């Protein structure tokens, strides 16, 4: 049987991570994977997480099964953290998932069960795993524009493309800190999206993976909360990997807003059934950590302080890179970066230039130009800027990737 398996394609991000690990050059920089690193290059455990883990170890609770919805206290607290008000949470249900990826897949499965043959619209470019997850769930995928040829947000293109999304379609929107571009719509554009969804009847599906790392925790959730106020139904996939630093604990939840409690009970059962066939139930530890933090005023305050410090370091890194590029005479490269936010930035470089950056300077980013701003030690930013400027100079005119029109 196994000899019949055709060679599958390697995951592009983990393939690059393996190439980085084998690179002997001491000056190498790993800006591929989306993890936060401090000034020493370490991905730290947050102090609030350490304290929560210490309390959990002292209590030494039972390891009994939690159930198909996972930790119900976690689900309740996540609903409150994301949606804020009782008026919103009363219209919602949540189940714990295996990180944000598991939430995306469970909600995609829910869409397939309720709307077979549905088309889901995703951004171009999109998070590398969006299309594979949706297609694995049996859904069709189309794309909408997010940026223009200069790498700047293209709100006109975004709205024009999504006018073609119809009553049975779903639109996947990244709630903040867009991966891979770092470019988010303005709040006015979010309001226009809400009006468009209401008029055309398509269902918003919000992916929240980086809230707290853009403009601040509450500000980053403002578009999602606005959509929940203006629309009767909504899907939200939430990850705790980045803003709690719980990457390996695989902690997240799937949230659904609906019109009636009976509808939401049916939704929760459908999500439980989907979880049962995929992984049965999610791991407990990360959810218990988040629950301990959010349920305690002092721990929650400490966590928010640490999250704000992480956001400040990311913002400072981006500003420093922009300043270094301007000093090198590369203002055309710097200007799009200056308007981006969150963990990632999209360098306006083509795949050939990114390959030269890797080979000549040991700087590893994706072929599309995405780099992890949160992974750069501050003292290495001038080196990164020099490498970017050099690969642009070696191929004049090749540093701006051409815009790819969305399929009509």
- Residue 188 in this model has a pLDDT that exceeds 90: yes
Distance, CA of 59 to CA of 253 (rounded, Å): 24
Counted residue by residue, the chain has a size of 408
pLDDT of residue 39: 86
For residue range 15-24, what is the model confidence (pLDDT) as tens digits?
888 899 999 9
Q: Over the range 300-336, which residues count as b (16 or more CB within 10 Å of their CB) and which as e?
A: bebbbebbeebbebbbebbebbbebbeebebeebbbb
pLDDT of residue 403: 32
* 51 token code pair: 């304290």
Q: Which fold has domain 49-295?
A: 3.40.640
For residue range 265-323, what is the model confidence (pLDDT) as tens digits?
999 999 999 999 999 999 999 999 999 999 999 999 999 999 999 999 999 999 999 99
Mean pLDDT of 75-91: 98
- Residue 399 in this model has a pLDDT that exceeds 70: no
pLDDT of residue 206: 98
- Residue 407 in this model has a pLDDT that exceeds 60: no
For residue range 101-151, what is the model confidence (pLDDT) as tens digits?
999 999 999 999 998 889 999 999 999 999 999 999 999 999 999 988 777
* CATH 3.40.640.10 domain residues, the chain: 49-295
- Residue 14 in this model has a pLDDT that exceeds 60: yes
The pLDDT > 70 percentage for the chain reads 96
* CATH 3.90.1150.10 domain residues, the chain: 11-44+304-393
Report residue 171: phi and psi, to 5°: -120, 115
- Residue 175 in this model has a pLDDT that exceeds 50: yes
Instruction: Return all residues near 408 (Cβ < 8 A) that are at least 6 apart.
Output: 164
C-alpha atoms less than 13 angstroms from C-alpha of 246 in its C-beta half-sphere: 30
The pLDDT > 90 percentage for the chain reads 84
Mean pLDDT of 209-226: 98
pLDDT of residue 393: 61
Over 41-52, what HEC string results? CCCCCCHHHHHH
For residue range 317-366, what is the model confidence (pLDDT) as tens digits?
999 999 999 999 999 889 989 999 999 999 988 899 999 999 999 999 99
Mean pLDDT of 398-403: 36
Architecture of domain 11-44+304-393: Alpha-Beta Complex (3.90)
pLDDT of residue 404: 31
């Amino acid at each position: 049987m196994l000899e019949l398996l055709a060679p599958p394609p390697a995951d592009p991000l983990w393939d690059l991570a393996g190439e980085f690990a084998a690179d002997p050059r001491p000056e190498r920089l790993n800006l591929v994977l989306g993890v936060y690193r401090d000034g020493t290059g370490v991905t730290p455990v947050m102090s609030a997480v350490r304290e929560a883990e210490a309390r959990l170890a002292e209590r030494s609770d039972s390891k009994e099964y939690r159930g198909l919805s996972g930790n119900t206290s976690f689900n309740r607290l996540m609903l409150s953290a994301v949606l804020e008000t009782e008026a919103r949470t009363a219209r919602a249900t949540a189940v714990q998932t295996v990180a944000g990826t598991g939430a995306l897949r469970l909600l995609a499965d829910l869409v397939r069960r309720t709307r077979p043959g549905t088309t889901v619209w995703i951004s171009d470019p999109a998070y590398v795993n969006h299309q594979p997850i949706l297609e694995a769930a049996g859904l069709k995928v189309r794309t909408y524009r997010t940026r223009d040829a200069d790498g700047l947000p293209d709100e006109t293109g975004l709205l024009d493309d999504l006018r073609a999304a119809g009553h049975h379609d779903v639109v996947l929107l990244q709630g903040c800190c867009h991966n891979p571009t770092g470019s988010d719509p303005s709040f006015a554009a979010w309001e226009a999206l809400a009006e468009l969804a209401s008029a055309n009847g398509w269902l918003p599906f919000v992916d929240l993976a980086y809230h707290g790392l853009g403009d601040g925790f509450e500000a980053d959730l403002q578009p999602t909360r606005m959509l929940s106020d203006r629309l009767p139904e909504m899907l939200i996939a939430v990850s705790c990997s980045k803003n709690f630093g719980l990457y390996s604990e695989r902690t997240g939840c799937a949230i659904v807003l609906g019109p009636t409690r009976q509808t939401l009970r049916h939704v929760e059962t459908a999500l439980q059934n989907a979880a049962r066939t995929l992984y049965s139930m999610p791991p407990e530890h990360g959810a218990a950590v988040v629950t301990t933090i959010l349920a305690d005023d002092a721990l929650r305050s400490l966590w928010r302080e640490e999250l704000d410090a992480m956001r400040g370091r990311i913002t400072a890194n981006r500003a420093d890179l922009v300043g270094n590029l301007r000093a090198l005479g590369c203002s055309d490269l710097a200007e799009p970066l200056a308007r981006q936010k969150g963990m990632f930035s999209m360098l306006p470089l083509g795949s050939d230039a990114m390959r030269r950056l890797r080979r000549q300077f040991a700087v590893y980013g994706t072929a599309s130009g995405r780099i992890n701003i949160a992974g750069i030690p501050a003292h290495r930013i001038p080196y990164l800027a020099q490498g970017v400027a050099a690969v642009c100079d070696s191929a004049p005119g090749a540093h701006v990737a051409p815009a790819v029109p969305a399929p009509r």
